[in-house]
Amino acid sequence: MSGPLALTLAGQGGIRLYAVDALATADGLRPGMLLADARALSPDLIAMPANPAADRAALARLAIWAQRYTPQAATDGTDGLILDITGCTHLLGGEERLLTDLADRLGRAGLTCRLAVGDTGAAAWGWARHRSATAGPVLPTGTRSWVSLLSLPLAALRLDEGVCKDLARVGLRSVGDLQRQPRAPLAARFGTGPLRRLDRMLGVAADPVVPEMATPGWQVHRAFADPIMTRDAIETALLMLLRDLSIRLEAAGRGVRRLRLTCLRTDTTAQNISIGTARPVRDPQGLLNLFRERFDKIDPGFGIEMMELTATGTDSFTGEQAGLAVGGGDAFAVMGLLDRLVNRLGEDQVGHPLPRDTHRPEQVMELVREVEGKTDTGTLCSPTLRKLPACRTAADATTPTSPWPKPQPTRPLPARPRTWAMEGPRPLLLLHPPEPVQVGSGLSWRGHYLPIDWLEGPERIRPDWWRARIGPTRDYYRAQLADGRRLWLFRTVDDRGAWYLHGLCA
């Protein structure tokens, strides 16, 4: 293909040039020109439509390819890659040789490139694009690079075109010009943008590289020659994945807390199911059992062609050792039970009551999720969740004195548990939200009239003064109905004086 080449894109006022090659540049064509004008300047111009989305995807693929040099590789703008090669250069024998290697490989792939190495990403960006033709690609380290950087044109700071023009109008043309200006008036006139870019270029401010794709630490996948559809096949495949993962986890001494299974179907849709565990686990069979409860959620459609298993949360594995402790086997059985319950019923449905330090009766008992391992907000009590009570031991097996001993009921002396101690009477079953009732000589509740035997109270419970949303103070009463039921009622201490049923007492 001879002759100048340009890629075009529909733009304002018609089709405009998107990118031009060297020959076209020599003919005076610039990106942004109307195609009609370009044809007038260069009659033998070959114009082809541009595809920016594909360009971006190709660049992202290139960034992932560049992870051969460093894990910290990312795309930079629409036409650049940035590689954080800190600590990686020795693998190829230094920065120069890394650049040579990179240039060779890109050249063989038919890509032209401009490379630069600098202390910061911004410096490397500017040096790659705007250095003079005679300068080498590698900048010296530290402040010794400043001489080179300060001689660059302002465009090397990667500023917006408008800002660049404004700065040029006041006579600032190079990075050095900008650096020598007092900062405060400059910021007042042009915003903090130019200064921030300058600081990042000179290494005064941080300029981190966000890698294109965080390498997933714990991911295994398996593609199938034929799409699978049956439950058995999915289960077998999952077990193989779990075994693969388990081997890697075992090598690292870790267990999973959260797992995500992604099923990629032939119709290019993906389905996810996630499980969580209360303690680090890596037993493939046990994990498979947890997934089994969720298998109904998988719809294979026309078949699953790939399965991907990602451990989104891992923890150091302490399992087997802890099992040796007294009663540990039972405690682990309970943990396993909790995992199964949580994964089938849902995390919100399985809870562990914890007392809260508040006056509001409905907030005194908080249900803490079993999986979380901590309370969400606002609890003043110690969040000791995984501390299950000690499991029952052999202590309740009394030693028999005769071959057929008379069963001796054992019963430790009960005592009021301290953490839940309350001053007044409290209901056994709490209604939340409270139900409105009418109280006269008797109680009207849901259309039934219930005569009251006696009423005990009031116990005044104020809202928590240290919280912002303050409801009315309540006067609580315990009432006994004529049929023997005992109820817990309150009356709001405000203008309405409304009665509510808040619980059933034992």
Partner 1 sequence: MTDTIPTIAALRERLSIMDRVRPPKGCAALSLGLACLDAALPGGGLVRGGVHEFLPAPADAGCHGFVASILSGLPPGPILWCRYRDKGDPLGLAEMPYGPGLAALGLDAGRLILIRPDNADDALWALEEALRCPGLAAVVGDGVMPGPVAGRRLQLAAEDGQTLGILILPPLGRPPPSTSLTRWHVTSQGDRPAHEDGGRPRWLVSLLRARGGGSQGRASRWEVVWDDTAFRLRLALPLADGPVAAAE
Please give the residues from 333 up to 352 whose contact with partner 1 meets the rule CB under 8 A.
Answer: 333-334, 336-338, 340-341, 344-345, 349-352
> 69 vs 500, which CB is nearer to partner 1?
500
Of residues 188, 206, 421, 468, which one binds partner 1 by CB under 8 A? 421
Q: Which of residues 423-442 bind partner 1 (CB under 8 A)?
A: 425-433, 435
Q: Which of residues 55-74 bind partner 1 (CB under 8 A)?
A: none
End-to-end CA distance of the chain: 93
For position 295 contacting partner 1 by CB under 8 A, the verdict is: no
**Exposed, middle or buried by CB within 10 Å (0-12, 13-18, 19+), for 124?**
buried
Least separation in angstroms between CB 84 and partner 1: 48
For position 453 contacting partner 1 by CB under 8 A, the verdict is: yes
CA–CA gap between residue 256 and residue 249 (Å, rounded): 8
Helix (H) or strand (E) holding 476: strand 474-481
For position 374 contacting partner 1 by CB under 8 A, the verdict is: no
User: CB of 30 within 8 A of CB of 20?
Assistant: yes
Q: What would the two tokens of residue 449 be? A: 């009239």
Of residues 112, 484, 495, 496, which one binds partner 1 by CB under 8 A? 484
> 4 vs 503, which CB is nearer to partner 1?
503
Least separation in angstroms between CB 341 and partner 1: 6
Counting Cα atoms < 13 Å in the Cβ hemisphere of 363 gives: 14
Q: In what order do the strands lie in the sheet with 219-228?
A: 219-228, 304-316, 254-265, 270-281
Which amino acid, residue 345?
A: L
CA distances for 58 relative to 125, 337, 383, angstroms: 20, 48, 49
Q: Which stretch binds partner 1 (CB under 8 A): 35-43, 125-133, 304-312, 483-491?
A: 483-491
> 7 vs 479, which CB is nearer to partner 1?
479
Of residues 91, 210, 213, 367, which one binds partner 1 by CB under 8 A? 367
CA–CA gap between residue 53 and residue 243 (Å, rounded): 39
The pattern of x and - marking residues 308 through 337 that bind partner 1 according to CB under 8 A reads: ---------------------xxxxxx-xx
Question: What single-letter DSSP state applies at residue 118?
Answer: -
Radius of gyration for the alpha carbons in the chain, expressed in angstroms and rounded: 36
Q: Which of residues 155-214 bind partner 1 (CB under 8 A)?
A: none
Q: Show Cβ contacts of residue 31 under 8 Å, excluding neighbours closer than 6 positions.
A: 16, 17, 18, 19, 20
Q: What would the two tokens of residue 376 be? A: 């969400």
For position 410 contacting partner 1 by CB under 8 A, the verdict is: yes
Least separation in angstroms between CB 238 and partner 1: 21
Least separation in angstroms between CB 429 and partner 1: 4
For position 400 contacting partner 1 by CB under 8 A, the verdict is: yes
> 58 vs 365, which CB is nearer to partner 1?
365
